[in-house]
């Protein structure tokens, strides 16, 4: 039992790492980054997606630039260094970091932007101070790379967080920034203080793609564990005019597969506990849901190839009545075909 538990713990950690890696790949796509900037970064809100995309310089760095102090790591964003680890400190890296030209002045590397994917919007501590720290690191790392002690021509920085949230805080976007406040008198001089912006983009944990603005709907669709890769591709091209690159298509497919794998391992773990406690009913229900979910996936593949109910039933060696029920419910969720919602409806029906 110890070996089994240890192995599953390692498998779970490995699955999470792979899941996080694919989320970063999706979010680091330049077109997706352009959508994120349009709806969360004030400097780019008046621009088209194509204009924003043309402002992004080079290739966004993914999980490669250290957050911790010790070296001027941001020079890699400009095409130079690598990662850093400080003695007595754990290695912490920016999920995604890149530089972009300002849409008005087009000055190279005028803005540094960090995008973070956070599956849990409430990880046990306040994320906003962490975002402020990331901004502070992006500013301090500019010294002797793009600014000097003689001019302090600090470049503006953004730290944008994509979080999963429940309840009324879902489908919101909030910005935290520096603003002046006159304590006594009214100062009329000109100053550069708009240099730091932390933005929290909160997506719904229930993966509801019908609420929020266009960015919420786009990211919820892309990161959904319920929508098939084919469904995501169709929505992106039809609704957002985003052609799926090979890298984006591969990452979304892996994301769906990993979500299924995590669920299957969760079911296995639950079944093991059920056996230990003698919960035969829980075991039967877990097996039934897993079997039904597999059948739904097979039916959807053939349905997308325009197969009839009779053809699907014959190929899968199931009754036409059973396949007909699945097809009827599945069509309600076209074109995304949310497999989990289809499963929930089918499990609530009387048995065929």
pLDDT tens digits along 144-156: 877 788 888 888 9
Q: pLDDT at residue 182 above 50?
A: yes
Q: pLDDT at residue 209 above 50?
A: yes
Among 307, 292, 240, 256, smallest CA distance to 32 is for 240
Q: What is the pLDDT of residue 21?
A: 82
Q: What is the pLDDT of residue 82?
A: 31
For residue 34, give the H/E element and its range.
helix 30-40
Q: pLDDT at residue 193 above 80?
A: yes
Who wins on pLDDT, 130 or 19? 130
Who wins on pLDDT, 100 or 74? 100
In this predicted structure, which of 45-54, 210-219, 324-333 has the lowest mean pLDDT? 324-333
Which pLDDT band, with edges at 50, 70 and 90, does 60 fall under?
confident
Residues 200 and 126: beta-carbon distance below 8 Å = no
CA distance 302 to 305: 5
Who wins on pLDDT, 189 or 91? 189
CA distance 198 to 181: 19
Mean pLDDT of the chain: 79
Which pLDDT band, with edges at 50, 70 and 90, does 7 fall under?
very low
In this predicted structure, which of 64-68, 135-139, 242-246 has the lowest mean pLDDT? 64-68
Q: What is the pLDDT of residue 265?
A: 47
Q: pLDDT at residue 303 above 90?
A: no
Q: pLDDT at residue 84 above 90?
A: no
| Residue 63, Cβ density class (10 Å: 0-12 exposed, 13-18 middle, ≥19 buried) | middle
Among 323, 306, 293, 314, smallest CA distance to 228 is for 293
Q: pLDDT at residue 236 above 70?
A: yes
Residues 293 and 343: beta-carbon distance below 8 Å = yes
Among 232, 258, 248, smallest CA distance to 19 is for 258
Query: What percent of the chain lies above the pLDDT cut of 90?
Result: 24
CB neighbours of residue 121 within 10 Å? 19
pLDDT mean over 9-32: 74
The secondary structure of 255-311 as a DSSP string is: HHHHHHHHHHHHHHHHHHHHHHHT-HHHHHHHHHHHHHHHHHHHHHHHHTTT--HHH
Encoding tokens for residue 286? 């877990």
Encoding tokens for residue 167? 């309840």
Residues 113 and 98: beta-carbon distance below 8 Å = yes
The owner of tokens 């796509």 is 29
Encoding tokens for residue 193? 């203080």
pLDDT mean over 195-212: 91
pLDDT mean over 44-57: 93
Residues 159 and 198: beta-carbon distance below 8 Å = yes
Residues 139 and 113: beta-carbon distance below 8 Å = no
Which pLDDT band, with edges at 50, 70 and 90, does 214 fall under?
very high
Q: What is the pLDDT of residue 15?
A: 57
Q: pLDDT at residue 276 above 70?
A: no
Q: What is the pLDDT of residue 57?
A: 86
CA dist 219 → 71, 161, 266 (Å): 33, 12, 25
CA distance 243 to 15: 28
The owner of tokens 């590397």 is 109
| 3-class SS letters over 155-186 | CEEEEEEEEEECHHHCCEEEEEECCCCCCCCC
| pLDDT single digits (tens) 88-146 | 344 567 888 898 998 887 665 578 888 988 877 788 889 999 999 999 988 888 888 77
Q: pLDDT at residue 267 above 70?
A: no
Encoding tokens for residue 184? 């006594």
Q: What is the pLDDT of residue 261?
A: 47
The secondary structure of 235-263 as a DSSP string is: HHHHHS-----HHHHHHHHHHHHHHHHHH
């Amino acid at each position: 039992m110890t070996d089994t538990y240890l192995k599953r713990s390692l498998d779970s950690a490995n699955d999470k790492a792979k899941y996080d890696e694919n989320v970063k790949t999706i979010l680091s796509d330049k077109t997706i980054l352009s959508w994120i900037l349009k709806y969360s970064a004030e400097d780019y809100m008046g621009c088209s997606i194509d204009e924003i995309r043309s402002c992004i310089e080079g290739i966004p760095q993914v999980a490669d630039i250290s957050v911790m102090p010790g070296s001027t790591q941001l020079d890699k964003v400009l095409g130079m260094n690598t990662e850093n680890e400080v003695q007595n400190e754990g290695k912490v890296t920016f999920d995604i970091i890149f530089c972009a030209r300002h849409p008005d002045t087009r000055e190279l590397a005028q803005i540094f932007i960090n995008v973070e994917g956070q599956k849990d919007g409430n990880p046990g501590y306040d994320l906003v101070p962490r975002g402020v720290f990331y901004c502070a690191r992006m500013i301090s790392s500019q010294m002797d790379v793009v600014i000097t002690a003689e001019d302090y021509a600090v470049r503006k920085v953004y730290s944008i967080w994509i979080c999963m949230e429940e309840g009324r805080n879902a489908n919101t976007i909030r910005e935290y920034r520096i603003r002046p406040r006159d304590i006594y008198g009214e100062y009329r001089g000109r100053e550069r203080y708009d240099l730091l912006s932390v933005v929290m983009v909160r997506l719904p944990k229930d993966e509801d793609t019908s609420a929020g603005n266009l960015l919420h709907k786009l990211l919820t669709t892309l990161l959904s564990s319920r929508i098939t890769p084919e469904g995501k591709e169709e929505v992106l091209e039809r609704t957002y005019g985003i052609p799926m690159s090979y890298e984006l298509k591969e990452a979304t497919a892996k994301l769906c597969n990993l979500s299924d794998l995590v669920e299957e391992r969760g079911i296995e773990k639950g079944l093991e506990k059920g056996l230990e406690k003698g919960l035969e009913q829980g075991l039967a229900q877990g097996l039934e849901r897993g079997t039904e979910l597999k059948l739904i996936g097979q039916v959807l593949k053939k349905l997308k190839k325009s197969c009839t109910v009779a053809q699907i039933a014959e190929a899968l060696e199931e009754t036409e009545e059973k396949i007909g029920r699945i097809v009827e419910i599945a069509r309600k969720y076209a074109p995304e075909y949310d497999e989990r919602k289809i499963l929930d409806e089918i499990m609530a029906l009387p048995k065929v």
